[in-house]
Every structure is written in structure tokens, then in C-alpha cells.
């Protein structure tokens, strides 16, 4: 991409679902390839250490494989935790998806756009203020989901994640925010709604085979769409964070409708 970078200064569009993976040493997974007992049983630290030594003695090749995996994991942890590589991640728990964000901003063109699906951790981590201060000036849309409809079958249904649209270059804080989503089509429904009528709640009651059934609500309403700027972040910082927290470091609450902003004020 050297020629495109020279001409445009970076990528115009980046899309992805980066790995939701904490970088941590899991030796049971390595040892379990040779001895299933490491994976099948919940071993205490002392029992695991004893069994590891015994297994090393029985399977000489295992120790070399274990050391190689450990060195690789330790090297990756040191690289991702190095402040000179990811300065905005200082103080937060390393997760691979977080590392994608500053990389995308760095590789984007001046008017480049990045769209990422990732967990909500950056918005509610008490230690994530520095990262949020870099996120908010670039964030243009934040749509928060809960996995109740099993959009991702391998993820727990209580898990929360979001679809996020970022500009590569920072600007004035201003983004659209919708919370408590269960299906992607609700986003379009909110934008297309007239704004009239009652705001639907989290669940609906429907009649099925003569019985009332409670289901997760996927209908949209214009009032679900909340415009967030510095003023709203200042409000959130006063209410949800420690005294003196800058607006750009405020945690982002999951508000169901824009009327709740006026209530908080």
C-alpha cells in the first residue's frame, strides 16, 4: 500500500471485528495438548506445578514446547503493554481489540473512517479515561448491543458489545448513541422513525398460541437516538466519575432514550 499511502496519506475505510482476547499466559492449554488432565481438572497452583514437573520428566519434548509458548506470550505481552507502542492504553487491561483502535487512527487518511465491532470495556472502565480522551474526538457513532438474541453464539448472551464508527483524525466531540439494542435492524428503525408515539421498553409482550410471551424489543424510535457532545460528557463526568474528571474521560452510560439526559440534568 506504499503508493496509496504516499498519495492519500492512509486508508480511506477500515472495517473489522478485532479479536476480543485478553493477552495472558494459559499454560494449561499448552500442557493439555500432551496431558489432558491439565485441561479436564481444575488444579491448584501447587498441584499444577507438581504435575508439570512430572510430565516434563515423562515427555522431554514438552518442556521445550512449553518454554517456546511461554516466551512468545511473554514477548507479546511486553510489546502490547509497552507505553511507547500504545501510549493511550496505559493503565488499562490489555485486550487485542483495544490495540486495533490507535493503529486504525494512525493508518487512516485525513478523512478516513474506521468501523469496528468490539466489547464495551473502553466506555465503562474506571481506569480507561486516557483511552476515552482519544476515542471521543474520533467517535461518530456508538450503537451498544446485548447478545440476548445470540447474534454471536460463542459469546455469553449477557455480553455487551458495540458497533463503533470512528474518524481517523480527531475533531469536535459529537456522535450518535443508541443503547440496549438486540438486533441490527433497530438502528435503521430509530433513524427512520418519525418520533411520535410511546418509546418502547426493553421487552414486548406478544400473543402466541393463545398465551402471552415476553420477547426482547427490536422496534425503533427516534427518541432512542441520543446526540452526545462535550456538554453531555461533562454531565456524565459529574454524575458517574470522581470529582474533577475531564469531560473527555467520562464513562458513557447506557441511556435508553434522550429524555433521560434531561432528567439527569
Share of the chain above pLDDT 70, in %: 100
C-alpha cell at 64: 521445550
The tens digit of pLDDT for each residue in 123-140 reads 999 999 999 999 999 999
For residue 213, the tally of other CB atoms under 10 A from its CB is: 10
List all residues 6 or more positions away from 232 whose beta carbon is below 8 Å from its beta carbon.
226, 261
pLDDT of residue 46: 84
pLDDT of residue 210: 74
pLDDT of residue 257: 95
Phi-psi region of 157 (alpha: psi -120 to 50; beta: other; left: phi over 0): alpha
Which candidate, 147, 178, 150, 141, places its Cα nearest to that of 161? 147
pLDDT of residue 241: 94
C-alpha cell at 39: 485441561
In angstroms, rounded to a whole number, what is the distance separating the alpha carbons of residues 61 and 63? 6
Task: Find which of 4-13, 82-91, 158-167 is predicted with most confidence, using mean pLDDT.
Answer: 158-167
pLDDT band for 214, please (50, 70, 90 cuts). confident
In angstroms, rounded to a whole number, what is the distance separating the alpha carbons of residues 33 and 29? 7
pLDDT of residue 2: 82
The angle subtended at Cα 152 by Cα 24 and Cα 112, nearest 5°, is 80
Residue 5 has pLDDT above 90, yes or no: no
For 184-213, what is the mean pLDDT?
89
Q: What is the 3-state secondary structure (H, E, C) of 150-170?
A: CCCCCCCCCCEEEEEEEECCC
The tens digit of pLDDT for each residue in 91-108 reads 888 899 999 999 999 999
The tens digit of pLDDT for each residue in 18-52 reads 999 888 888 877 888 777 877 777 777 788 888 88
pLDDT band for 182, please (50, 70, 90 cuts). very high
Q: What is the mean pLDDT of the chain?
A: 91
pLDDT of residue 43: 76
For 235-248, what is the mean pLDDT?
96
In angstroms, rounded to a whole number, what is the distance separating the alpha carbons of residues 42 and 53? 17
With contact defined as beta carbons under 8 Å apart, do 228 and 250 qualify? no
Amino acid at each position: 500500500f506504499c503508493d496509496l499511502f504516499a498519495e492519500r496519506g492512509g486508508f480511506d475505510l477500515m472495517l473489522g471485528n478485532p479479536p476480543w482476547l485478553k493477552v495472558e499466559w494459559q499454560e494449561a492449554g499448552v500442557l493439555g495438548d500432551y496431558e489432558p488432565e491439565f485441561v479436564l481438572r481444575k488444579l491448584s497452583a501447587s498441584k499444577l506445578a507438581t504435575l508439570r514437573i512430572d510430565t516434563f520428566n515423562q515427555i522431554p519434548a514438552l518442556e521445550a514446547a512449553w518454554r517456546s509458548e511461554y516466551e512468545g506470550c511473554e514477548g507479546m505481552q511486553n510489546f502490547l503493554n509497552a507505553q511507547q507502542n500504545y501510549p493511550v492504553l496505559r493503565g488499562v487491561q490489555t485486550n487485542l481489540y483495544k490495540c486495533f483502535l490507535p493503529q486504525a487512527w494512525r493508518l487512516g487518511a485525513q478523512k478516513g473512517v474506521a468501523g469496528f465491532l468490539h466489547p464495551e470495556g473502553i466506555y465503562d472502565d474506571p481506569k480507561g479515561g486516557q483511552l476515552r480522551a482519544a476515542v471521543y474526538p474520533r467517535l461518530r457513532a456508538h450503537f451498544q448491543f446485548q447478545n440476548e438474541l445470540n447474534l454471536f453464539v460463542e459469546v455469553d448472551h449477557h455480553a455487551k458489545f458495540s458497533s463503533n464508527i470512528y474518524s481517523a483524525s480527531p475533531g469536535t466531540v459529537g456522535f450518535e448513541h443508541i443503547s440496549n439494542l438486540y438486533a441490527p435492524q433497530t438502528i435503521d428503525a430509530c433513524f427512520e422513525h418519525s418520533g411520535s408515539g410511546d418509546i418502547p421498553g426493553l421487552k414486548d409482550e406478544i400473543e402466541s398460541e393463545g398465551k402471552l410471551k415476553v420477547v426482547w424489543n427490536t422496534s425503533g424510535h427516534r427518541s432512542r437516538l441520543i446526540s452526545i457532545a462535550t456538554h453531555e460528557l461533562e454531565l456524565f463526568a459529574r454524575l458517574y466519575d470522581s470529582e474533577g474528571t475531564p469531560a473527555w474521560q467520562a464513562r458513557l452510560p447506557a441511556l435508553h432514550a434522550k429524555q433521560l439526559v434531561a432528567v439527569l440534568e
